[in-house]
Amino acid sequence: MPKVVLITGASRGIGAATARLAASRGYDVCVNYRRDAAAADEVRRDIDAAGRRVIAVAADVGVEADVVRLFETCDRALGPVTAVVNNAGVLETQMRLDAMDAARWHRVLTTNVIGAFLCAREAVRRMSTRHGGAGGAIVNVSSGASRLGSPDEYIDYAASKGALDTLTIGLSREVAEEGIRVNAVRPGHIYTEMHASGGEPNRVDRVKAIVPMKRGGTAEEVAGAILWLLSDEASYTTGAFIDVAGGK
């Protein structure tokens, strides 16, 4: 049975690095993206050049119909998913909670929380032995912010990642007897384009002095942890978290 991984938010950053590494480890890859078709196509071309089957599918993970279509498209083109990486996430401009409005919270929680729930649901419906599936693995990309709270910057983002942590624990226990492992990685200060969305593209360089290792991390370092959790080497690991955060 071919290994098929569906990665949300895979056109850039951690998602793109995970897609490329997965292809090098023998996975066929469904690259999900929301808007940046050019970036997604670049990832798709790299995977195709590596000799793996690959598709790029535009879908907003916060929209239920889009998620259903995303998984159905993957079914038709690549076959049933054996691995899902819930990586898609949004981050908004740094500010205190008392300056935020409800519209912002809806945007962040819809993508970061509801999107992950929807993708996990579709994964379970395909992977679970209860539904006739052959099992599989889900990795949720959380954040060190879930432990630290991101005061004065992104309390809403941190709270959304706290919800993802709880989803990881609860779902891992719910489907443990059905052949599905559910784990999470919690990246720390990683060099990705996401910081520009928060209004500070060079944020990692500003804060790296407070990291015990005194540097920021790379998307490839996070991808390595994700691929280990997806692999057979982690066959007895579920409900677990790997902090890829330089010791912070």
Q: Which of 136, 131, 130, 133 is nearest to 183 (CA)?
A: 136
Please list the residues that pair with 242 across neighbouring strands. Answer: 185
Q: Residue 125: which CATH number?
A: 3.40.50.720
Question: So what's the pLDDT on residue 195?
Answer: 63
Residue type at 153 in one-letter notation: E
pLDDT digits (tens, 9 = 90+) for 33-75: 999 999 999 999 999 999 999 999 999 999 999 999 999 999 9
Q: pLDDT (tens digit, 9 = 90+) per residue, 196-223?
A: 566 677 889 888 998 999 999 999 999 9
Q: What is the pLDDT of residues 152-192, one digit of tens each?
A: 999 999 999 999 999 999 999 999 999 999 999 999 999 98
pLDDT of residue 198: 66
Structure tokens that stand for 1 in this block: 């049975």
In a domain? residue 248:
no
Q: Could you give the CA distance from residue 214 to residue 188 in angstroms, rounded to a whole number?
A: 12
Does the pLDDT at position 1 exceed 90?
A: no
pLDDT for the residue numbered 207: 86
Of the listed 27, 33, 154, 157, which one is catalytic?
Answer: 157
Task: Kindly state the average pLDDT of the residues 111-134.
Answer: 98
- 157 catalytically annotated: yes
* Cα distance between residue 181 and residue 84, in whole Å: 11
Tell me the whole-structure pTM to 2 decimals: 0.96
Q: What is the pLDDT of residue 166?
A: 98
Q: Residue 101 is part of which domain span? A: 4-243
Mean pLDDT of 75-91: 97
Q: What is the 3-state secondary structure (H, E, C) of 106-169?
A: HHHHHHHHHHHHHHHHHHHHHHCHHHCCCCEEEEEECCCHHHHCCCCCCHHHHHHHHHHHHHHH
Residues of the chain with pLDDT > 70: what percent? Answer: 98
Structural domain count, the chain: 1
pLDDT class of 16 with cuts at 50, 70, 90: very high
What pLDDT does 127 receive?
98
Overall average pLDDT of the 230-245 stretch = 98
